[in-house]
Amino acid sequence: MRYELFLAKRYALSRRSQNFITVISIISSIGIAVGVAALIAVLSVFNGFSTVVTDILIRFDPHIRISAVRNDSTDVAVIPDAAKLLPKIVDAVHAERAAATIRSKAVMVHYTLPRVAVINGIDENNSITNVADHVEAGEMKLDDEGIVVGQSLADNLALAVGDTVQLFSPVGIEQVLTEPVQPKNIPLIVRGIFVANNREYDALYAFANMKVVRTLLDLPPESATHIELKLHDIAGSTDAKNALESLLPKEQYTIETWYDLHRDLYEVMQLERWIAYFILILIVAVASFSIFSALTMTVYEKQRDIGLLLALGAERTHIRRIYYYQGFITGAIGIIVGCLLGLGIVVAQQQFHFFALDTSVYIIPALPVELRWTDFLFVSLGATILITLTSLVPSRKAARVEPAEALRWE
């Protein structure tokens, strides 16, 4: 063992004298441990919420959505050869499932209550969405007269299973506004009501047969507005998007991953995550300044030892390393303890749900947490950088001690 590390360990871990400097070092390690544990716990909560949000969204949204680029001459952007495109797209990205869909806004009217809704035309036998698993009332029956609506949408329109709702088409709306003609509309019977546990979907989404939606929008047979894909692994969405962009002309198609569909939401969540990281790292910064104070006082206390080492032939770089290592050891103890403490908190929450949530208000029973090794890496790296910076000044100050001055009165 190099003597610099030996002396650093002796200064940092010695129990012979419980003086004020030792107390500051202990407090510094505790502060770093608390900061690191808090960071890991908070970042794990962000991870948990992100996973919960993603799970909810991809129940109804695809991993990749291919949309037709709208032409100014048409009311609805259409993929005319969707059935022919499907095999090529599946082969290009090795998708697990693929389906053509029709999506458009329409006005739903029940009695005198109108609401704008997003009508999704799907093939019940070949669909990406698993809305059937979330039907709470009625059944997922999309025949030529059936429609399934979200719970909040049903409440706003005073709909129940078996009621008839009128769908008004957005196609030709300019003519309706300028001429005394009635917009195209279709009566449909509510076959089921689903609960997506997503406020937007429950309040806006409705599902109907593709043929019905084509008729409502005056679309050609076998056409679609979107092609949706489910991949074997959601992590491969970006690679699949890149492969499809090289296959399909950009001027005709827009390709979006599940992240692109909700980019604003995920960017806000990521911003909140970084803000929490920088706020909580201040705890580690304060503890690091305590290390700075302890090292500075140690330099003054050990000036005789420093002078003696220099007189015996020690190089100034070795003196610098002694105090740098001392600060690093003090900080490393705090980082290791903090990582273990954070790990224990997260695992305990996963197993015992200490922070429970009201299931009548929230869709999850307890505060969600998820461990990621990258969190441990970034938290430890950030703490190490702060400790390194605060150890530099005292270690350099120790290296500048003059042996003659330090040993003058010895």
Q: Give the span between the Cα atoms of 358 and 364, in whole angstroms.
A: 8
Q: Could you tell me if 243 and 373 lie in one domain?
A: no
Q: Could you tell me if 302 and 246 lie in one domain?
A: no
Q: Could you tell me if 190 and 144 lie in one domain?
A: yes
**Whether the Cβ atoms of residue 244 and residue 64 lie closer than 8 Å to each other:** yes
Q: What phi and psi values does residue 262 have, to the nearest 5 degrees? A: -130, 40
Supply the pLDDT for residue 149: 96
If 0-12 CB within 10 Å is exposed, 13-18 middle and 19+ buried, where does residue 77 land?
middle
Which one of 261, 278, 309 terminates a domain?
261
Q: Could you tell me if 208 and 100 lie in one domain?
A: yes
**Whether the Cβ atoms of residue 127 and residue 210 lie closer than 8 Å to each other:** no
Q: Could you tell me if 101 and 181 lie in one domain?
A: yes
pLDDT confidence tier of residue 121, bands split at 50, 70 and 90 = very high
**Residue 78, both tokens:** 């259409």
Which one of 202, 235, 261 terminates a domain?
261
Q: Could you tell me if 228 and 106 lie in one domain?
A: yes
More confident residue, 49 or 307: 49
Instruction: Decide if pLDDT at 79 tops 80.
Output: yes
Supply the pLDDT for residue 162: 93
Q: Could you tell me if 242 and 294 lie in one domain?
A: no
Supply the pLDDT for residue 345: 95
**3-state DSSP assignment of residue 191:** strand
**Residue 234, both tokens:** 């959601």
- Number of domains comprising the chain: 2
**Beta pairing partners, 334:** none
Which residues neighbour 30 within 8 Å (Cβ) at sequence distance 6 or greater? 287, 334
CATH number at residue 243: 2.40.40.20
User: Is residue 227 within a helix (H) or strand (E), and if so which, with residue range?
Assistant: strand 226-230
N-to-C CA span, the chain: 30
User: Is residue 161 within a helix (H) or strand (E), and if so which, with residue range?
Assistant: none
Supply the pLDDT for residue 376: 94
Which one of 198, 226, 261 terminates a domain?
261
Q: Could you tell me if 270 and 388 lie in one domain?
A: yes
Which residues neighbour 47 within 8 Å (Cβ) at sequence distance 6 or greater? 369, 370, 371, 372, 375
Mean pLDDT, rounded, of the chain: 85
Residue with tokens 């679609």: 224
Q: Give the span between the Cα atoms of 69 and 62, in whole angstroms.
A: 18
**Whether the Cβ atoms of residue 113 and residue 168 lie closer than 8 Å to each other:** no
Summarize pLDDT for 7-60 with one digit per residue, the tens: 666 666 665 554 666 777 788 889 899 999 999 999 999 999 999 888 888 888
For 184, the domain range is 64-261
Q: Could you tell me if 251 and 275 lie in one domain?
A: no
Supply the pLDDT for residue 29: 87
Summarize pLDDT for 159-195 with one digit per residue, the tens: 999 999 999 888 766 555 556 667 788 999 999 999 9
Q: Could you tell me if 40 and 186 lie in one domain?
A: no
Q: Could you tell me if 296 and 384 lie in one domain?
A: yes
pLDDT confidence tier of residue 396, bands split at 50, 70 and 90 = confident
